[in-house]
């Protein structure tokens, strides 16, 4: 991983715009007072005490206490550590209860059922995809024909004894397979570390760690690199909507809700058994923005598919009456912390509405502006049409006429602009203006329509 000499921008972290938090938080190899070791940092604002524990100290919570630094992060230096040493943070809440937590910014982790983080330095891999990256700069994915093969690495193929293939074997066999079938892009179901096989990766604990089921971070770098050298794009499913409630994970990280909403009417997805990220908190936005940037920057992935957008847009998503509180307008749209991304929809009953998603849009826009992924898609399975097109539009503001904006909007839902009656056109204009859909110019580039499922996807 390329190191930076710039001082960590704590103000940007707390303000929700820092995409490099992983370079500072977590565990990083360094040298202090003539000794080699690792510096550990974590964000736990309400903790009474935090220490680093691991095999190297017999998991003694008193051996390596952390102190709050000037920027409000818990920090300590531990000498004489080495790659693959396991560790956790022993976080003591104000109540006095201590819980062992995996590092939210760890680059590597134990393979389940183990739950500890592992020390790992990302530097040293020699990439061979320079030609690929240069070609993508000239012809980005969202301007090229795209035929996507979706795959879950753990179930695609296994050894006869049931063991997983490793990333390097998967790279070679999968590349040959998809090319034989005529695909030019692979979409991976989540590879961010997760504890439960049955979740297929959609309930994560490690947003900066490629799952160790199939190997090391460098092995996953090889996976991406090999596919690129074969002319195959790589898209990752990325889950910024919710996280699992395993005790070693993000849940109540310092004894209080940190990464999740404090509001009990927003905090839980009971149907999934997960917690919901608090998109209104700057530290959480920086965490998610940094995670997305991490995969694009450090692993050369070509794009992200944002999972479970519907759950972020609706206050009543998978909730019964009495389990959610309407917004200030009496509706079910999450307009407290999701306000600016304008997503218009037409249902079969010709209902026109506006859904607004501020901070999610801000995260996605910042990712595109700072790191230029070739494609960014979003799943919205509860709507008649997907929100992917509008998400892409929200991230690419370019001038166009009012007519082009309307045509683009209607095309997203398969409606022919030229077949509208005068009355329908006038009504549509007024409704869209009221919903502020026309406030921002619409990008006219082609889009990849993608919905969550196990089938193969083709660009339209």
Between 403 and 301, the more confident residue is: 301
Question: What is the pLDDT, as a whole number, of residue 240?
Answer: 87
Question: What is the pLDDT, as a whole number, of residue 409?
Answer: 58
Segment 363-380 shows an average pLDDT of 52
- Give, in degrees to the nearest 5, the angle at Cα 187 between 183 and 192: 155
> Encoding tokens for residue 34?
């003539």
Q: Is residue 401 predicted with pLDDT exceeding 70? A: no
Question: What is the pLDDT, as a whole number, of residue 385?
Answer: 32
Segment 360-388 shows an average pLDDT of 47
Angle between helix 358-371 and 388-395 (nearest 10)? 60
Handedness of CA 211, 217, 223, 224 (dihedral sign): positive
Q: Is residue 340 predicted with pLDDT exceeding 70? A: no
Tens digit of each residue's pLDDT (9 = 90 or more) over 111-129:
999 999 999 999 999 999 9
Question: What is the pLDDT, as a whole number, of residue 333?
Answer: 75
Average pLDDT, rounded, for the chain? 78
Question: What is the pLDDT, as a whole number, of residue 262?
Answer: 93
Q: Is residue 421 predicted with pLDDT exceeding 70? A: no
Identify the H or E element spanning 207.
strand 206-210
Q: Is residue 75 predicted with pLDDT exceeding 60? A: yes
In the chain, what percentage of residues exceed pLDDT 70? 71
Segment 221-237 shows an average pLDDT of 95
pLDDT range class, residue 348, cuts 50, 70, 90? very low
Q: Is residue 103 predicted with pLDDT exceeding 80? A: yes
The answer to whether 385 and 414 are in contact (CB under 8 A) is yes
Question: What is the pLDDT, as a whole number, of residue 428?
Answer: 61
Segment 269-277 shows an average pLDDT of 87
Between 282 and 222, the more confident residue is: 222
Question: What is the pLDDT, as a whole number, of residue 202?
Answer: 87
The DSSP secondary structure of 342-395, one letter per residue, reads EEEEE-TT--EEEEEEHHHHHHHHHHHHHH--SEEEE--TTSSS-SHHHHHHHH
> Encoding tokens for residue 107?
């680059």
pLDDT range class, residue 13, cuts 50, 70, 90? very high
The Cα 154–Cα 199 span in angstroms is 11
- Best mean pLDDT range from 76-85, 180-189, 347-356: 76-85
> Encoding tokens for residue 50?
């935090």
pLDDT range class, residue 338, cuts 50, 70, 90? very low
Q: Is residue 71 predicted with pLDDT exceeding 70? A: yes
Cα dist. 192→121, 295, 359 in Å?
17, 10, 22
Tens digit of each residue's pLDDT (9 = 90 or more) over 144-166:
777 889 999 999 999 999 999 99
Segment 432-455 shows an average pLDDT of 35
The Cα 360–Cα 354 span in angstroms is 16
- Give, in degrees to the nearest 5, the angle at Cα 456 between 451 and 460: 65
Segment 16-39 shows an average pLDDT of 94
Q: Is residue 24 predicted with pLDDT exceeding 80? A: yes
Handedness of CA 293, 294, 299, 305 (dihedral sign): negative
pTM of the model: 0.76
In the chain, what percentage of residues exceed pLDDT 90? 50
Q: Is residue 51 predicted with pLDDT exceeding 90? A: yes
Point out the least confidently predicted range of 11-15, 406-410, 417-421, 431-435. 431-435
> Encoding tokens for residue 91?
């976080």
């Amino acid at each position: 991983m390329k190191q930076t000499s710039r001082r960590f921008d704590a103000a940007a972290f707390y303000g929700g715009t820092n995409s490099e938090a992983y370079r500072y938080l977590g565990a990083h190899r360094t040298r202090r007072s003539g000794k080699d070791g690792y510096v550990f940092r974590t964000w736990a604002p309400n903790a009474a005490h935090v220490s680093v524990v691991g095999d190297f100290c017999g998991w003694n919570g008193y051996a390596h206490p952390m102190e709050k630094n000037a920027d409000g992060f818990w920090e300590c230096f531990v000498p004489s550590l080495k790659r693959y040493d396991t560790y956790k943070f022993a976080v003591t809440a104000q109540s006095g209860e201590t819980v062992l937590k995996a590092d939210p910014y760890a680059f590597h982790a134990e393979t389940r059922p183990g739950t500890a983080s592992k020390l790992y330095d990302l530097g040293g891999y020699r990439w061979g995809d320079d030609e690929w990256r240069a070609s993508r700069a000239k012809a980005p994915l969202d301007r090229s024909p795209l035929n996507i093969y979706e795959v879950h690495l753990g179930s695609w193929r296994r050894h006869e004894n049931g063991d997983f293939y490793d990333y390097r074997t998967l790279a070679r066999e999968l590349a040959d397979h998809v090319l034989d079938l005529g695909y030019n892009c692979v979409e991976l179901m989540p590879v961010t570390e997760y504890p439960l096989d049955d979740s297929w990766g959609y309930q994560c604990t490690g947003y900066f760690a490629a799952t160790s089921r199939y190997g090391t971070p460098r092995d996953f770098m090889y996976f991406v690199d090999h596919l690129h050298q074969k002319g195959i794009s790589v898209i990752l499913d990325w889950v910024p909507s919710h996280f699992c409630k395993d005790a070693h994970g993000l849940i109540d990280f310092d004894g209080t809700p940190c990464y999740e909403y404090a509001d009990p009417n927003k905090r839980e997805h009971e149907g999934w058994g997960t917690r919901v990220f608090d998109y209104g908190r700057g530290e959480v936005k920086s965490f998610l923005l940094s995670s997305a940037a991490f995969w694009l920057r450090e692993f050369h992935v070509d794009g992200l598919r944002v999972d479970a957008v519907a759950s972020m847009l609706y206050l009543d998503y998978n909730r019964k009456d009495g389990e959610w509180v309407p917004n200030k307008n009496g509706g079910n749209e999450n307009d407290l912390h999701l306000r600016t991304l304008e997503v218009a929809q037409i249902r079969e009953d010709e209902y026109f509405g506006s859904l607004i998603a501020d901070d999610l849009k801000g995260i996605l826009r910042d990712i595109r502006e700072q790191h230029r992924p070739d494609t960014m898609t979003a799943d919205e399975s509860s709507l008649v049409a997907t929100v992917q097109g509008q998400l892409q539009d929200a991230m690419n503001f370019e001038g166009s006429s009012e007519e082009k904006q309307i045509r683009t909007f209607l095309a997203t839902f398969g409606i022919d602009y030229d077949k509208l009656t005068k009355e329908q056109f006038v009504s549509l204009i007024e409704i869209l203006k009221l919903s502020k859909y026309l406030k921002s110019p619409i990008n006219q580039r082609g889009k990849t329509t993608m919905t969550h499922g196990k089938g193969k996807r083709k660009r339209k």
